[in-house]
Chains A and B, each alone.
Chain A
Amino acid sequence: MAYSVSFNLNPIVDSELGGLGSDDTAQDHLMIQHRTESAPEGGIGSPDTQGIELLVKECKDFLDDQTSDVREQADERGLQNSESVQTRLLVRNRWSATTLKVLSSMPSRSIGWQSRLEKVSRCTVHNSQLSRYRRQTPGSSLSTRPIVHRNEDVSEEETKTKELINNLQKLSTAGRFRILRSTPLSLSEKSELRKLAFSDKVGQSLSSEVPYWRKIKRASRHSFFTILSFFSSLRFGRVQLKRIGGRFGTSVLFYFLFLRTLLFFNIFLSLINGLFLVLPQAIYPPLKNTPSRFSGLELLTGTGFLSDSVMFYGYYTNSTINSCGPAAKVRSEDATPHSACGSASETQMIAYNIPLAYSFSTVIAFFITSIALVYSLSKSFGRSVQVLSSHGNLASKIFCSWDFKVSKKTSVRIQSENISTQLKELLLAVNCKRGNGASRWRLTGIAVYPLAWSACLGSTFFFAFGIHVFAEYLHLNKKPEDSWASEAYLLTLPSVVSCGNLFLPGLFNLLSWFENYRLPSVRLYVAIFRNLLLKVSILGVLCYHWLGKVAVQSEGHGPQCWETIVGQELYRFLLMDFIFTVLYTVFGVFLWRMFSQRVLRRKRKPVFDIAWNVLELIYGQTLTWLGVLFCPLLPTVQIIKLLVLFHLKGNSVLMNCQASKKPWRSSHMSTVFIFLLCIPSFLGATAFVIYTAWTIKPSSGCGPFRNLPVMLHSGEQWAHELTKVNPKLAWLNWVYNNVVENPFFLLLVSLVFLMVSYVHAHVLDGQKRIMTLLQEQIENEGKDMKFLITKLQAIHEGEPPLSQSRSAIRGNEVPNQHDTCGL
């Protein structure tokens, strides 16, 4: 360029001018002939205009050439006299040189790499997440753009870098890493900055000035990341997840990630149960009364030799195991703590109180699971909540809906088709203004909805009632225990329930296909609701049956262990569910695919029904949580089941299914499903366990709580024993009596909890309001800018045009840069 260095026109203005050629709006003639040689008479008198005139003199010939080129190339359609004056003035290609000058000198549009450094240094100063990219300027870019560094700019750059380094050095090491990690610089730039930022620490060992607690924190974080990287390198099912994600995208992947989350929950549960409950009891088994027999069916029914094993509640003793070093002896009933060891070396005794371990492990497992669930729910909810209004649908559909994980060619094609279909539908909706919507609704018939809903609810009700009757019948007509048929008899109820779980949702799907809901999300919610209602009613009926009938009535039938019976029932339910799911996955899906391709002649493979499958997972997990109290090894069974399901479903999906055409809002759906895992599933299981532990009398013939009125009294008993042994711990007794058992304390705790949530809800509400206000402010700023631009233009339009200088300079050719935005 033949212009002086102080020329401040940045590429933005170039592209603005350059974009004129591609704009649809017309321009009659540009106002460039207005020069500010006569500006002071214009009456603005502001310092801006007076400063501008100097700059404009230098650039007028450049602009002249640009505008003349543009005028030659611009379309003549668009704005004419019919448009309002303001709109005419707002057309960018009609802006005068001074307007453009003012705009380009705005602080938010200043150029250069140093502004990016400014931003980084400002964020280290403020050290907050929000302000980090607030002033991200349009001129700052990665080094993909060739940047012309002028002499003055280099020194400015250096000062900015120094400022940034100073700011970074004020922070702690962790803070520096954190800031560097989240800034959008390339790795090489980051490492240079890092070297500079840590130059003050060169020669010093980093550990000398760091306090010990920070060292511990750093060491723990280090080891955590080592473990994490080790696990991520052999991350469970990584290859499978990648293949599924590549073929189907985020939607189907969600099912497998959910499965993996449940797996971790169960691993935790079984670890706690295994370490503190199963292992001690397995090492020191109680004296057995009845001989056990073995036949293959026991694994399915949980009876026979399994019923007298660590599997079920009935096996566990109700006393303390005492082991004295290598020679361990255990007394099963009514053992006193001091009688087990031969010689009087009581100091070597390791007393392990089984009932206490049982109740504590259950309580702690449930408590930690609840904390983990609430944490994951809050995280997922925080990610999915849609801040402010959702009228930005189209823009987010274009920029945020492309799933980068999808890598298979056909799936990429399907994804493109999905997006174009959705865009076309959106355009139609915008154009037709819902003229079609009402007629489409009427076409399907209003009568279909009540019919379908009554059919679904009726079938759910009748199924639940049928289960109730059948369970009663089975309970009252028990066959003699030794026959093979009675074992198989026990499997009928679980099989019936699993069949219902498989076929009734299919019926619901059929009915919703008739109903033909317009929005796919409504259809999904309806399906989830119906399915959930079915499972909740089944489980409700079963729980009523177990707690209301089995637990209460078994006392009259002789020495039996109702807890073991309930545990066995739950084990059978889980196993039958597993077997039916395996059969369906292996045979059902495959057969359906064959059927739909050969008989129905459909070109597309069936679609993986995510909602149904996730609800099945939640159902299985509910059964596990219900059964933990009665069958401590049930989480282990669930682990095996989940592992097999992961691989089986993964292979089935890859073989038989195809990517869905429907959109799937993954973060919203994940929140919904985690919420369903928390509230009906986990909360229901916890309510069941608490009701059992607090109200129902444990059976007197077996189990660790056999002589107590209710299971929770084991804690009280332990407190009493402690005070007997060690009078100093009497306060524990007092604590137990007045704090744990006292309803007033629980009331207080729940009140505090409610208050905290109330305060949080109000804080969130206030933040939302601030965000709305800030958005309004942004819009007002935009309006202000429009206003100022029109004022500037109006003032300059009022000046007489200059023709002489323009024609003299028209001959100069300047390299044409206006293609940047036009391509």
Chain B
Amino acid sequence: MFYNPYIVFFSCNHPSSTFFPLSRLFYRYRDLAPQLVPLDYTGQPDVRLPYELIGSMPELKDNPFRQRIAEVFSEDGEGNMTLDDFLDMFSVLSEMAPRDLKAYYAFKIYDFNNDDFLCKSDLEKTLNKLTRNELTEEEVRMVCDKVIDEADLDNDGRLSLEDFQHMIVRAPDFLSTFHIRI
């Protein structure tokens, strides 16, 4: 399928695991640190690019959620990504990933404390990152309360994944906004 011999390895192992052509992504990954990433991946080398390199990519550099994105998709949870993690990330953020998959990862990204719920502190942090701390504390609190009122269906005071997905269904723009072009 791909004529690049270095990618043949990938096509053997991940032929249909991503929604995206792999060779371009591999070269983008390699361009971040050419001295660390070998051209030949047949030996499955354990190469992990530190978060600083991932966060300096032009697509992510100014995104307020870049740290969370890197943490969610990285194996070690710190933002240091292997090639697999990198491919995963751009695969989910591509145009063709299904809505449910995107909603799942979006939920993970907004869940700052990794407790699998969007509690009030997660909401506050999300809001502050979105608005660059322009809202006052009072306004932040009001917005968070209102969000939980609106979206919390099982009435436990925080948003579970089901609540989040239910809300995503009602927001048809989600598919076009949760998308990074590479």
What residues make up the interface of A, taking CB atoms closer than 8 Å to B?
A: 11-12, 15, 19, 22, 92, 129, 132-134, 136-145, 177, 180-184, 186-188, 190-191, 194, 222, 225-226, 229, 232-233, 241-242, 245-246, 250, 383-396, 398-409, 412-413, 416-417, 419-420, 423-424, 427, 430, 665-668, 778-779, 781-783, 785-786, 820-823
Contacts and interface: CB of A to CB of B under 8 A. Distances in A.
13 contacts: A180-B17, A225-B1, A229-B1, A233-B23, A396-B168, A404-B177, A666-B173, A666-B176, A666-B177, A667-B172, A667-B175, A668-B172, A785-B154
Contact of A416 (B19, B77, B110, B132): B132
Contact of B88 (A145, A187, A250): A187
Nearest to A408: B62
Given A182-B100, A242-B181, A416-B131, A11 B115 contact: yes
B111 to A, nearest CB: 9
Contacts of A232: 21
Contact of B17 (A181, A399, A409): A181
What are the 4 tightest A-B residue pairs by CB atom distance, in nearest-first order?
Answer: A144-B77, A396-B171, A420-B131, A187-B84
A19 B134 contact: no
A396 B60 CA distance: 22
Contacts of A15: 113, 115, 117, 119
A403 to B, nearest CB: 5
Given A133-B100, A229-B2, A191 B17 contact: yes
A781 B154 CA distance: 7
Interface in B145-182: 146-147, 150-151, 153-157, 160-162, 164-182
Nearest to B88: A187
Contacts of A145: 77, 114
A194 B169 CA distance: 30
Interface stretch (B28-36, B48-56, B101-109): B101-109
Given A133-B161, A386-B170, A186 B84 contact: yes
B119 A184 contact: no
Nearest to B178: A404
A424 B130 CA distance: 13
B62 A241 contact: no
B93 interface: yes
B72 A142 contact: yes
A144 B121 contact: no
Contacts of B154: 778, 781-782, 785
Contacts of A387: 169-170
A388 B150 CA distance: 14
B38 interface: no
Contact of A400 (B76, B101, B171): B171
Contact of A398 (B19, B126, B153): B126
A403 B71 CA distance: 19
A188 B15 CA distance: 13
A778 B151 CA distance: 12
Contacts of B169: 387-388
Interface in B60-114: 60-65, 71-77, 82, 84-85, 87-88, 93, 98, 100-101, 104-106, 108, 110, 113-114
Contact of B75 (A134, A186, A668): A186
Contact of B181 (A181, A194, A405): A405
A241 B114 contact: no
Contacts of A191: 13-14, 17, 84
Interface of B: 1-2, 13-19, 21, 23-24, 58-65, 71-77, 82, 84-85, 87-88, 93, 98, 100-101, 104-106, 108, 110, 113-117, 119-121, 123, 126-127, 130-132, 134-135, 139, 142-143, 146-147, 150-151, 153-157, 160-162, 164-182
A400 B177 contact: yes
Contact of B1 (A139, A222, A407, A430): A222
Contact of A144 (B72, B134, B182): B72
Nearest to A245: B181
A133 B105 CA distance: 12
Contact of B104 (A92, A133, A398): A133
Given A133-B104, A145-B77, A419-B131, A403 B177 contact: yes
Given A140-B116, A190-B17, A402 B173 contact: no
A427 B143 contact: yes
Given A184-B101, A400-B174, A407-B59, 11 more contacts: A137-B116, A143-B75, A187-B14, A194-B17, A246-B59, A246-B181, A398-B127, A402-B65, A408-B62, A821-B119, A821-B120
B30 to A, nearest CB: 16
A388 B135 CA distance: 30
Contacts of B120: 22, 821
Nearest to A786: B155
A225 B18 CA distance: 13
B181 A241 contact: yes
A406 B180 CA distance: 8
A507 to B, nearest CB: 32
A61 B66 CA distance: 42
Contacts of A241: 181
Contacts of A423: 127, 131, 135, 139, 143
Contacts of A229: 1-2, 21
B63 A404 contact: yes
B122 to A, nearest CB: 8
A497 to B, nearest CB: 35
A50 B100 CA distance: 40
B62 A409 contact: yes
A413 B62 CA distance: 9
Given A133-B104, A823-B113, A398 B147 contact: yes
A404 B179 contact: yes
B78 to A, nearest CB: 9
Contacts of A413: 132
A237 to B, nearest CB: 12
A246 B57 CA distance: 13
A395 B75 contact: no
A186 B115 contact: no
A509 B130 CA distance: 32
B8 to A, nearest CB: 14
Given A226-B1, A399-B164, A407-B63, A129 B115 contact: no
Contacts of B88: 186-187
A420 B13 contact: no
Contact of A386 (B65, B76, B172): B172
Contacts of B173: 250, 396, 400-401, 665-668
Contact of A822 (B61, B106, B121, B142): B121
Contacts of A409: 62
A393 B143 CA distance: 11
A420 B135 contact: yes
A182 B13 CA distance: 16
Given A187-B14, A250-B176, A424-B139, A396 B21 contact: no
Contact of B77 (A143, A184, A399): A143
A196 to B, nearest CB: 14
A246 B63 CA distance: 11
B174 to A, nearest CB: 4
B21 A427 contact: no
Contacts of B116: 12, 137-141
A405 B180 contact: yes
A656 B166 CA distance: 40
A398 B105 contact: no
Given A22-B120, A184-B105, A399-B167, A392 B161 contact: no
